[in-house]
Structure 1
Amino acid sequence: MTVDWKELVADKRRRQQETIPKDWLIGCPPDTVLDVTAIPEQCGLLSERELQITNTVDVAVLLQKLHSAEWSAVEVTTAFYKRAIIAHQLVNCLTEIFVGRALARAAELDEHLKTTGKVVGPLHGLPISLKDQICLKGLETTMGYASWIGKYADKDAALVEVLYECGAVPFVRTNVPQTLMWAETYNVVFGRTSNPANRNLTCGGSSGGEGALIHLKGSLLGVGSDIGGSIRIPALFNGLYALRPSYGRVPYQGAVNSMYGQDSIPSVLGPLSNSLSGIQIFMQAVIGQKPWLKDPLAVRKKWDTEEYALAEHGGGQQLCFAIMWNDGIVVPHPPIIRALETTREALLRAGHKVIDWQPLKHLELGDAIAAIWKAGASEDFKATTALTGEPVIMSMSPVDGAGPGDPSVRPDAVGMTAYQLWQIQKARADLRKEYLDHWQKTVDTTGTGRPVDAIISPGAPFAAPPHGKNFYSNYTKVFNALDYSACIFPVTRVDVTKDVKKPAHTFLSNLDETNYNLYDPVVFQNAPVGLQLVGRTLEEEAVIAMTEIVDTALKAGSAA
């Protein structure tokens, strides 16, 4: 029997609204107010103590205060919950809200610390937000599908079990696009999430709710997923730090997903945070719980302190970074180029070497990952929506059909035979070997006796674009195809004075021309601008450490 999806959506939205404490509602500014980042501090809902707590963006500092009992888990969870609800009213970033449950967990942690004098684990008392695909027992996980309304999880995902063991407080879940296979965030159940810096712009996707929430400091640390850029793009567009780990480094078991069973390009879970310490602390804590004992696909690799100390990278004393100015397909907009130039100058001042990176077959890598997705995507999406007859979303544009959409993730893709898929998977494996050799050959040009230590690359050819205009994700998804670990770091914001439009260059492709025509500094004004640091497969510890070095160099440069 087919259920009316509109009735399901109306009921779900009503139930969501009822979970918001009435005294946490604020007077929201009109849609004409684009930058809402100051509203949480101006609206009057948060006390001075709560503002102090939520403005403590360094996860290491917050944990120290929690572990010393200077701040209780209950008051920290309450403060972030209130700020998360403010964020939700401004940019529509939440899905599941469970205040009582989270506060009960926090109270248990406070009691444990009081009676034993010991913390439960390394994340004791830390509120953590979760993308709406990471199952929590007893809660719905719709993943943007009306068809999944009413499906309650009978157990926690493996990562949630790990977070509980670490002492964390899961406290909200965040919005996603239907299917997850979009670099923007919109679905028929919860609607659209916007960018807090400019609500005319996208927050990215598919972990867009996470990006927008953390941008507004409604969470200090959250978990997203990434199959083609879905952690990194929201982090870029919201001025955050984030990590795309290699396949299996963070346990995925028990999370729902699109295209389950497609394991050539697995999705990965990873952290987003306002601080780089949050990325390091999350990874070390999760890996320290031996997640391979909960997830058979999790990699059996302990946290490597020697790798974090950059033992294979000269101890971090003089690194050689390679900057990829463009991918040979689409030239980035002026703010992205400025961010690359700023980073290059900061690293040179800090005594590191910087060379240019020559991209190798990025078009072929992008085509391979897109073809693997397309093999069964359409069938998967149609099977999921068949129960209710809800529409499969074909565009992220507010005006139907007006946005180009990323052709690699459109849900109307035509499938292929198993044999054809095997040929694509073989071609992709060959490309991975070519890229490895390409990287290794840089030993001849670095001057350090080592190949390039890391690549610094755009994560997108633009800052956060208008809704429906995020048409190109190859800057991130090639590294999913290669399974390279990559960390996002913020650099600057779009400045209408510094980032004027340049005269047209000789276009590398039709996509390049589309991207050039998209740019107007006034449209993109105030949008955060970040970059990604890319290392090798399963090199998360070194990637985080090298990003710390880059971040320190950038901050020293801005302070000079």
Structure 2
Amino acid sequence: MPPWTELAAEKKQRQLKSIPQEWLVSTPPDSTLDVTGFPETCGLLTAREIEITNTSVDVLLEKLACGEWTAVDVTTAFYKRAIVAHQLVNCLTEIFVDRALARATELDNHFKQTGKVVGPLHGLPLSLKDQICIEGLETTMGYISWIGRYAEKNAVLVDVLIECGAVPFVRTNLPQTVMWPESFNNIFGRTNNPYNRSLTPGGSSGGEGALVALKGSPLGVGSDIGGSIRIPSAFCGLYSLRPSYGRVPYCGALNSLEGQDSVHSVFGPMTNSVGGVKAFMKAVVNAKPWLKDPLAVRKKWQEDEYNLADHGSGKDLCFAIMWDDGVVVPHPPIRRSLEITKAALEKAGHKVVDWKPIKHRLLADTTRNIWNAASAEDYMITTSVTGEPILSRFCLIGYG
């Protein structure tokens, strides 16, 4: 066996040992495709933990802020459900239970002593895609060559989230190179879709998509350049946002194709409610990330803008639908969903117009050429350290 397989096996073994043995369960056979209901029937979670993990982000934050639920209880509940999710669909990379519970305990002690929350995300467990560095942890980004590389400091976003009171508690799977709309690598293997385990959850933030869909995390952070938040959110039935570039700090995180700044990757939230998307974005923006990351946009949160105060407060809006881009015609189910959306918008009193694509093939070809410029060299340099194979379908196109 080539040496890189030994490195991968050793890393997987360390991952397994990081899971509390009492949280391992007997999972359904592979023939059971839809496993979304399994976490609540497996017997690991108590009735209260099921209630906690089924609660939306905005309500979770309210209960944490008033002391009805403790950060330790909420973190433990989601951690147990995350471990069950991992056993079902292989969605996690880094698991650090003791560290997360220690952080939750600190937050609870602060609340007991002061009666105040640390920040707007006080006590909320957060999952992070495995390119967002956390001090003292490995960040492999799906590369065997990066096993053993421990972060010396947090990515700026992690510092911001901790300042807001959040509890980072797991990191999630992605494809080798990040630049692909699926989630498979030579270290952790393939992540599957919890609604149908014979299908993909999408990518490149597929670990986040599968985990949040199974309610193993109330809110995850993915990255997106060409669909890597939007694809898994669509495949897994989640609410999410690909923010504008610079709205969420990226400094200190890892990525492929460093220096490619024609089409930027961004971080954004993935969750089970619109309230969760707002809670994340408002907390991050109000933390003034531009003071820690000079490329972050210096723009404060504006509640009036969120509520569309200058646009009729959300009434009588105009929406555009692009039925196809002149290159690819959507399959009938996609077309049907667009028609259902149009009917719902018109019923609500909004105007819907057809969006006519302009030079979409040229735009797509130009973007692909930008991503492909030296991409093969980038991947080969990284993998050459251990000789791991580059997964061939990742070489020519990027989405991460």
TM-score range with shorter-chain normalisation?
over 0.9
Aligned length in residues? 399
Q: Distance in 1 between matches of 2:146 and 2:183?
A: 17
Unaligned runs of 5+ in 2: none
Aligned to 1:343: 341
Match of 1:408 in 2: 397
Alignment of 1:50-89 (within 5 A): 50-56=49-55, 58-89=56-87
Shift in Å at residue 313 of structure 1?
2.4
Could you tell me how far 1:309 is from its partner in structure 2?
A: 2.1
- Separation (CA, whole Å) in 1 of partners of 2:313 and 2:32: 48
What residue is the counterpart of 1:26 in the other structure?
25
Conservation of the 8 A alpha-carbon contact between 1:182 and 1:406: no
Q: What is the correspondence of 1:268-287 to structure 2 with a 5 Å cutoff?
A: 268-287=266-285
Give me the CA root mean square deviation: 1.3
Instruction: Give the Cα–Cα distance (whole angstroms) in 1 for the partners of residues 26 and 300 of structure 2.
Output: 48
- Amino acid in the other structure paired with 2:147: I
Work out the CA distance in 2 between the residues paired with 1:373 and 1:344: 34
CA displacement, residues 231-280 of structure 1 (integer Å, 9 cap, x when unaligned):
11010100001100111110000000101111111111111001111111
Query: For residue 24 of structure 2, what is the amino acid of its counterpart?
Result: L
Residue of 189, 193, 196 corresponding to 2:194: 196
SS state of the match for residue 244, structure 1? coil
Distance 2:258 2:288 in 1: 24
Amino acid paired to 1:93: C
Q: Which digits, 9 at most, give the CA deviation of each residue in 1:94-132, with x for residues without a partner?
A: 000000000000011011111101000000000000000
Asked which structure has the greater CA Rg, the reply is 1
Q: Give secondary structure in 1 for the equivalent of 2:133.
A: coil
What residue identity is the alignment partner of 1:24?
W
Q: How far 1:407 sits from its partner (Å)?
A: 4.9
Retained in 1: the 8 A contact 2:12–2:187?
A: yes
**Matched residue type, 1:251:** P
Equivalent residue in structure 2 for 1:207, among 183, 205, 208:
205
Quote how far apart the aligned CAs of 1:312 are: 3.6
Matched with 2:388 is 390
2:170 is the alignment partner of 1:172: yes
**Displaced runs of 4+ in structure 1, greater than 4 A?**
none
CA contact (8 A) 2:63 2:69 kept: yes
**Aligned sequence identity (%):** 67
Separation in 2, partners of 1:208, 1:258: 17
Alignment of 1:351-430 (within 5 A): 351-395=349-393, 407-409=396-398
Q: Distance in 1 between matches of 2:189 and 2:102?
A: 30
Q: Helix, strand or coil: the match of 1:378?
A: helix
> Residue 42 of structure 2 aligns to which amino acid in structure 1?
C
State the match for 1:185 in structure 2.
183
- Matched residue, 1:444: none
CA distance in 2 between partners of 1:223 and 1:100 (Å)? 21
Instruction: Measure how far apart 1:327 and its partner are.
Output: 1.6
**Partners of 2:180 and 2:397 within 8 A in 1:** no
**In the alignment, which residue of structure 1 is the partner of 2:47?**
48
Change (3 A) 1:406 1:362: farther
Query: Which structure 1 segments of 5+ residues have no match?
Result: 396-404, 410-472, 478-560
Shift of 1:310: 1.0
Question: Which residue of 2 is the match for residue 14 of structure 1?
Answer: 13
Look up the equivalent residue of 1:408 and give its one-letter code: I
Q: Distance in 2 between matches of 1:96 and 1:10?
A: 15
Deviations along 1:374-397, one digit per CA (max 9) or x if unpaired, are: 1121111011011101001113xx
The alpha-carbon deviation at position 334 of structure 1 amounts to 2.2
Q: Is 1:124 matched with 2:122?
A: yes
1:140-179 to structure 2, matched below 5 A, reads: 140-179=138-177
Judge conservation of contact 2:327–2:361 (CA < 8 Å) in 1.
yes
Deviation of 1:12 after TM superposition, in Å, equals 0.2
Task: Name the stretch that deviates more: 92-101 or 295-304.
Answer: 295-304
Task: Say if 2:225 is the partner of 1:236.
Answer: no
Q: 1:221 aligns with which of 192, 208, 219?
A: 219
